[in-house]
Structure 1
Amino acid sequence: MIAKIIYGETCTGTLNYVLGKEGMQVLGYGNTFSQSISPKFFGSVLHFQGQRNATKNRYAHISLNLPHGEHLDDKTFYKISEEYMENMGFGHQPYVVVRHTDTKHEHVHIVTTTVKEDGKVLGIFNSHRRSMATRQHLEKKYGLTPAPTTRRKEQLRILRLPELQTGANATQGTRYYLQDVLNTINQRYKVRSFEELARLVRPYHIEIKTTTTESGRMGVMYGLDNQNGYRTSFINGSEVHRNLSGPKLQKVFDIHSKSKLLQMHRKRLLKQIETTYDLFKAIHPYELEEVLKDYQDIDIKLDTKENVIEGYTVYDKSTYVFRSRELSQKIRMQNRLDIFGNGNQPTRIDTESKQFKLEIQKLIKEAFNTSYLKSPKQTGLLSEHMMTKNFGDIGPILIASKKYIFLERYIPKSRQKEFRTALHAAFPIVRKRLYELETKKEKAALQGKFDLIGKVLKNKIFNVGTEQGSVRLLFQALGVKYHDNQLSFTNSNRHTVPVELGKLSFPKEMENYVSSGFVRQNHLMLETLSEKSSENTPKLTATAMFLPMIFPKLYKRMNPEHKKQYESLALSAYVKSAERMHAPFEKSAKDYIALFNAKGFYFTKGEDGFKIKSIYTGNESSYTLPKRTGLYLNSIPDLARVLQEQKPIIKNLLEEGRNDLKNLWAGHLMERGLYDKVAYMLTAENVRPNLYREVILHHMDNGLRPCLVQVSQRQSSIKRNRALRKGVYAIGNFLGGGSYIEKEMFNGFKDEFTDFTKFKKKDTGPSL
């Protein structure tokens, strides 16, 4: 099921369309004194209530759409609509549910107002997230086909076209079709001109005309030609939607055109395309799309007219759209006949080119890195690992790589043997060069750790010193060791930095295992705490919250002032991650609070706004939520009661001893889908994840349940149990690496149907 919502300033046109459609059926009214009222009377009630406030978002037009072939009877569809409105916060507003039969997919329209009887406006913050969570809840409850949860790569699918008709109402269906397509295009791409917009909407049979008044004000009109003998009259942009008017769109186009990043994206694309040209001796024009996608991950579409290729358009990952001639005249196909002018010759790589030799070097380098990361025992540094491997060791990894498969596909069969020979010949040269580069990087990294240790000790972040050797706790948490007045990496003695500390005793209690991923995150955190300004500091991830769990002896020695700063930074990083994880379950601002409460976090409201605290940090530590999030929480009608209801939930967690970070970590791993690790924690370590009940049930159904059964039935050896435990607290780039970027779950509601100019930031029950 797909939910669509549009906010507007008027409701007359919307009601005329919804209630005037041929074959429409009113399924029912919400919050009216009778179900026997006429549509005209309801329209008057809705109009007058909406006019009690001057907000531009007075009215809401919602549609719930089933996929093709799915059927619901009227009673069930109305019940689903009622539950949707209740969860979206419209449960006490007047609304009408109308079923239409003008398309191949079944759908209902709901029209309501955001203005309450007292003239105040409902809080409509985070509408897209709430709609997504509500939709998924209803899909599961009523057995409906889920909407996609991953972003679509294909072009916008046209679900309907206005039927062939004439008369006064002919433009109504057109108007809403135009809204769907134009809003989606403007969300998906950073459009910079009306000319570009016209090209992007042309496949959807939409035509655009622009006008300019004497005062220079830009106007725009839209028309529809479905190529079946039906063409609408052109409709002013402001009549389609106020944000699709000429001046409003021109303002958006100007912002996109003046972006400082625009030139950077141009240069990057130009370099990538030129590199592709340098690699190939010939490219069949119709294979350019596939070549650029496989080699550079660039999406393009050939521009053809009467079967003649005029160029191509690049749909960049930055969401900008570029024509090839806009990037550079040098890359136009007409100007590169040396590559594209070879008739119907097959696409083939130039094995004598400089770029081909560079690709061979890249292949070998990637194979070394993969071999090191996949090594069951990562003993030693990467540079040491390289010198122990010969071509036969990395050959299978190299041949299985995507880049190798790509190169082999376009190398002529007669040159395949030469390709393999070139790889063998380049191997020792590349290995030596990489060894030298990696050695240089490793030395710099060790020196960086030494410098950071100096800053940490100077700023007295931890109460550690040479007495009783407690400074070793800091060394271990940064992945280094100290011996004979020298500092070196924990897993290697190859590089050293002289440190005159004399003989240090070894602490009786040290962490048994230190994850390299947590070492990196700890390094970033200590860099942040060591700097006087937090600007330009490395981005922390949610795993910063769990550093005291991995390095308990060290973080117990953290000085109070720095501990408060650390806890605030950790809370900030974790909250941002948790908000993205909660999106599929957050049907309202109450859910926002409940989901955090179940994890052991609670909210307070003061003069500075809302603050979030946790049962894992000191009472004085907190993170102030952004203003927009505060407005979202303020939209809860009975906010004081909801905040008061947090107390027994938090008290229960504390009484049960659930304030151990292991409980939060188990929930974090569960949200990441690492069910095998979670299953071990739940069975062998008797950990209970601090998560909302509905979230736990979701993961049980999603794959956790069979993992629990498998772990419970398996009689593991002591050696295997140690390995499993080590894996539970070992993270690499997936969770703790510096290059890790968390991605928000796909939101079909937001990406396909909401007004593109509205920037949005990013059942209750006890936890198990």
Structure 2
Amino acid sequence: MIAKLIYGDTCQGTLKYVLGKEGMRIMGYGNTFSQSISPKFFGSVLHFQGQRNATKNRYAHISLNLPHGEHLDDNTFLKISMEYMENMGYGEQPYVVVRHTDTEHEHVHIVTTNVKENGQVLGIFNSHRRSMATRQHLEKKYGLYEAPTTKRKEQLPIHRLPELQFGMDAEKGTRYYLQDVLNSINQKHKMRSFDELARLVKPYHIEVKTTKNETGRIGVKYGLDNQKGYRTNFINGSEVHHNLSGPKLQKVFDVHSKSKLLPMHRKRLLKQIETTYDLFRTIHPQELGEVLKEYQDIDIKLDKKEETTEGFTIYDKSMYVFRARELSRNIRMQNRLDIFGNDNAPTQIDTESKQFKLEMQKLIKEALTTSYLQSSKQQGLLSEHIMTKNFGDILPSLMASKKHNFLERYLQRNQRTELRKALGNTFPMVRQRLYELETKKEQETLESKFKLIGKVLKNKIFNVGTEQGSVRLLFQALGVKYHDNQLSFTNSDRHTIPVKLGKLSFPKEMENYVSTGFVRQNHLMFQMLTEQSSDNSPKLTATAMFLPMIFPKLYKRMNPEFKTQYESLALSAYIKDAERRHSPFEKSAKDYIALFNAKGFYFTIGEEGFKIKSIYTRNESAHTLPRRTSLYLSSIPNLTETLKEQRPVINNLVEDGRNRLENLWSGHLMERGVYSKVAFMLTAEKVYPNLHREMVQHHMDNGLRESIIVASERQSSIQQNYVLRKGAYAISSILGGSSTKTEDMYNGFKDEFTDFTKNKRKSRGMGLPC
């Protein structure tokens, strides 16, 4: 089911269309004193209630659309419509639900007002996100086909074209079709002129006419003409929708045309297209779109007049639309007959070109890096890995590369063997260059870590020192180690920096394995705490919230003033990620609060607006929500009661002992789809996720249930073997056998990111009890 929402400041035209359609059926009214009122009376009620506030978005026009082939009876469709309106916050507003039969797919229209009886306006913040969550909820509840949740790049369907009849009244179908297409085109592209608009809507049988009066005011009219006996009168843009009038669109066009980013997009595209031309000897015109899409991820459409290809139009990821001649005359097909001159010539790469040689070098670099990242142990640094590899070692990674497949596809058969030889000959030179480049990067990285350690110690962010060797906790958290007055990377001694700290009393078995991902986050966090980060620095991710769990001994020594600063930064990063993950389940502002409550976060309100706190941080640590989010939450009816309802949820988590970061981490892994790790934490470690029931159910249905079954069977087998080994050990003790060390249970959580016992377990396989 697809839901569409359109807001406006009038309702008369919408009601005329919705209630005037031939074959329409009024299925029911919402929040009216009777179901037997006349459409005219309902229109008056809706109009007068909407006029009680001067907001531009007084009225809402919603359509619920089923996919082709899906059928619902009137009673069920009405029930779904009323549940949709309740979840979207229109439960107490007057509305009408009308079924239309003018298209190939079943759909209903709902017209209502955003103005309440007391003249206040409903909070329609995040309405499209809430609509998506509500729609998904109803699809599951009523067994409907699930609509896609990601953006689709294909063109709009044209089946919504009104019935074919000449001279059709604009108010009986055309207007809604024009709204549907024009609004979608406006959202999809950053248009800069009426000519561009006319080209983009032409495939939908829409014609655009512009006028200019004596004062220079531009007007626009829209009409339909499918050139098959169906044509409508032209309609003024303001009658279609107030945002589709000439002056309104001209303002939008001016903003897009004056954007400072526009020249940058042009320059980038020109470079990408010229690079493509440099790689090929010939390109068949019909294959240019496929070549640009695969090689540069550029979407184009050939401009044809009858059977002649006149050029191409670029639909850029920036949402701008460019014609080839707008970027440069040199990339037009007519001006590059050396590449496009022979329509019969197949598309072929120029193996003698400079660009081809560059592509081979890129392939080898990518294969060397990929083979390192995909290696199971990842021992040593990338520079060390590079010099241990020969050409045969990287062949599997190279052959699996999309770039390699792309190059091979556009080579002649007899050239494919030559490609392998050319890559082999190029390999030594590329390997040496990459080795030198990575060596320089690694040295600079180690030096930056050394400087950062100095900053952290100077600012006294942590209470660590050299007397008891606690400074090694700081070294470990940044992925470095100290030995014999030298600082080096934890997993390599290749690069060193002299650091005269003397002999430190480190433990015999240092916790020396830490995930590189968490080391990077920790490094960034320290930079932010010491004010070394910049706008161009990488951003914190949700994993910053879990740093105290990964480095518990270090963060226990964090000084209070920095603890508050860290927790605020970590909360901010986690909340941004959580909001994105909540969107498929967030049907209302109350859901926003409930989803966070289930994770152990709660909201307070004060003079600065809403703040969010957590059971994992100290009470004074908080993150202030943006103004728009605060307004969104303020729209909740009985807000005070809703905030009070947080207490039992939060108290239950604390009383159950689920105020540990491990419980939040289990839920975070579940949201990321790492079900095998979650299943192990549930079955072996008894760590239960802090996550809303609806989200848990979604993941159970999505594969978590099967993972839990596998983990349970594995755990049962482990326990049986454990008992047998215990029995064998008892017999061995009675007979005077040597003792063994206490077994360490395999820890799925540690193994995920920070298994400090990896070095000790090398002889134990997976680290299971032995």
Same fold (TM over 0.5): yes
> 1:590 is matched with which residue?
590
Q: Which residue of 1 aligns with 2:165?
A: 165
Using the alignment, how far apart are the partners of 2:189 and 2:420 within structure 1? 42
Q: Secondary structure at the match of 2:221?
A: strand
Alignment partner, residue 187 of structure 1 = 187
Q: How does 1:588-627 map to 2 (within 5 A)?
A: 588-627=588-627
Q: In the aligned structure 1, how far is the partner of 2:168 from the partner of 2:113?
A: 26
Distance 1:319 1:169 in 2: 34
Q: CA deviation at 1:343?
A: 3.4
Q: Which residue of the partner structure matches residue 576 of structure 1?
A: 576
Distance 2:16 2:644 in 1: 45
Equivalence map 1:360-379=2 (5 Å):
360-379=360-379
Find the aligned partners of 2:511 and 2:186 in 1 and give their Cα distance: 53
The whole-number CA distance in structure 2 between the counterparts of 1:630 and 1:316 is 35
| AA of the residue aligned to 1:621 | S
Cα distance per residue 1:28-70 (max 9 Å; x no partner): 1111111111111111111111111111111111111101110
Checking the alignment, whether the CA contact within 8 Å between 2:595 and 2:691 is kept in structure 1 is: yes
Which residues of 2 match residues 55-94 of structure 1 at below 5 A?
55-94=55-94
Give the Cα–Cα distance (whole angstroms) in 2 for the partners of residues 535 and 417 of structure 1: 47
Q: Which has the larger radius of gyration?
A: 2
Match of 1:751 in 2: none
Question: What aligned pairs does 1:746-765 form with structure 2 within 5 A after superposition?
Answer: none
Identify the range of structure 1 (588-597 vs 454-463) with the bigger mean alpha-carbon deviation.
454-463
- For residues 537 and 430 of structure 2, the distance between their equivalents in structure 1, rounded to whole angstroms, comes to 34
Q: Given the alignment of the two structures, is residue 554 of structure 1 paired with residue 554 of structure 2, yes or no? A: yes
Distance (whole Å) between structure 2 residues aligned to residue 167 and residue 37 of structure 1: 33
**How far did residue 369 of structure 1 move?**
0.8
**TM-score calculated relative to the size of structure 1:** 0.93
Contact 1:31/1:95 (<8 A) preserved: yes
Displacement after TM superposition at 1:227 (Å): 2.2
Instruction: Check 1:2–1:24 CA distance in 2 against 1; reply closer, same or farther (3 A cut).
Output: same
Where in structure 1 do 4 or more consecutive aligned residues deviate above 3 Å? 165-172, 507-513, 532-538, 715-727
Once structures 1 and 2 are overlaid, which stretch shifts more, 168-177 or 86-95? 168-177
Give how far 1:707 is off. 0.7
Greater alpha carbon shift after TM alignment, 509-518 vs 603-612: 509-518
Q: Distance in 2 between matches of 1:267 and 1:414?
A: 37
1:729 to 750, 753, 760: 753
Q: Which residue in the other structure is 1:468 paired with?
A: 468
Q: Which has the higher contact order (CA 8 A, sep 6+)?
A: 1
Structure 2: give runs of 5+ residues left out of the alignment. 723-742, 756-770
Q: CA deviation at 1:589?
A: 0.4
> Residue 637 of structure 1 aligns with which residue?
637
Question: Per-residue deviation at 1:17?
Answer: 1.0
Give runs of aligned pairs for residues 242-253 of structure 1, distance below 5 A.
242-253=242-253
Structure 2 counterpart of 1:77, one-letter code: F
Structure 2 CA distance, aligned partners of 1:660 and 1:534? 32
* Counterpart position of 1:119: 119
Note the C-alpha offset of 1:115.
1.1
Residue 16 of structure 1 aligns with which residue?
16
Measured in 2, the distance between the counterparts of 1:721 and 1:133 equals 41
Residue in 2 that maps onto 1:45: 45
1:680-720 Cα distance to aligned partner (Å, 9 max, x none): 11111111100011110011001110011111112469999
The one-character-per-residue Cα deviations of 1:169-226 (angstroms, maximum 9, x if unpaired) are 3443111111111111111111111111111111111111112222222221111112
What's the counterpart of residue 736 of structure 1? Answer: none
- The structural deviation recorded for 1:14 is 1.1
State how far apart, in whole Å, the 2-side matches of 1:308 and 1:35 are: 60
Distance 1:353 1:151, change over 3 A: same
Superposed displacement of residue 284, structure 1: 0.8
Partner of 1:481: 481
1:256-655 aligned at under 5 Å gives the runs 256-507=256-507, 511=511, 513-531=513-531, 537-655=537-655
Partner Cα distance (1:620, 1:358) in 2: 55
Contact kept? 1:178, 1:240, Cα under 8 Å = yes
8 Å Cα contact 1:65/1:105 also seen in 2: yes
Alpha-carbon distance, 1:510 to partner: 5.8
CA distance in 2, matches of 1:508, 1:221: 82
Match of 2:233 in 1: 233
Q: Does the CA-based 8 Å contact 2:17-2:176 persist in structure 1?
A: no
Q: Deviations over 1:292-339 (max 9, x none)?
A: 111111111111111111111111111111111111111111111111
Structure 1 residues 722 and 318, CA gap change in structure 2 (3 angstroms): farther
Aligned to 2:737: none
Distance in 2 separating the partners of 1:542 and 1:443: 29
Q: Which runs of 5+ in 1 are unaligned?
A: 732-768
1:513–1:726 contact (8 Å) kept in structure 2: no
1:222 and 1:77, CA in 2 relative to 1: closer, same or farther beyond 3 A? same
* Aligned match of 1:762: none
Counterpart-to-counterpart distance in 1, 2:176 and 2:745: 60
Question: What does 1:120-135 correspond to in 2, within 5 Å?
Answer: 120-135=120-135
Which secondary structure state, in structure 2, belongs to the residue aligned with residue 467 of structure 1?
coil
Matches of residues 701-712 of structure 1 in structure 2 within 5 Å? Answer: 701-712=701-712
What SS does structure 1 have at the residue aligned with 2:173?
helix
Report the Cα distance in structure 1 between the residues aligned to 2:62 and 2:684, rounded to whole angstroms. Answer: 49
Q: Letter of the 1:455 partner, please give it.
A: K
Counterpart residue type for residue 57 of structure 1 = N
| Contact 1:613–1:621 (Cα < 8 Å) also in 2 | yes
Deviation at 1:606, TM superposition (A): 0.4
Contact 1:511-1:551 within 8 A present in 2 as well: no
Shift of the 61–688 alpha-carbon distance from structure 1 to 2, 3 Å rule, reads same
TM-score, normalised to structure 2, is 0.93
Cα distance in 2, alignment partners of residues 370 and 168 from structure 1:
61
Q: Secondary structure at the match of 1:322?
A: strand
For residues 159 and 279 of structure 2, the distance between their equivalents in structure 1, rounded to whole angstroms, comes to 42
Residue 223 of structure 2 is matched in structure 1 by 223
Matched to 2:120, the amino acid is K
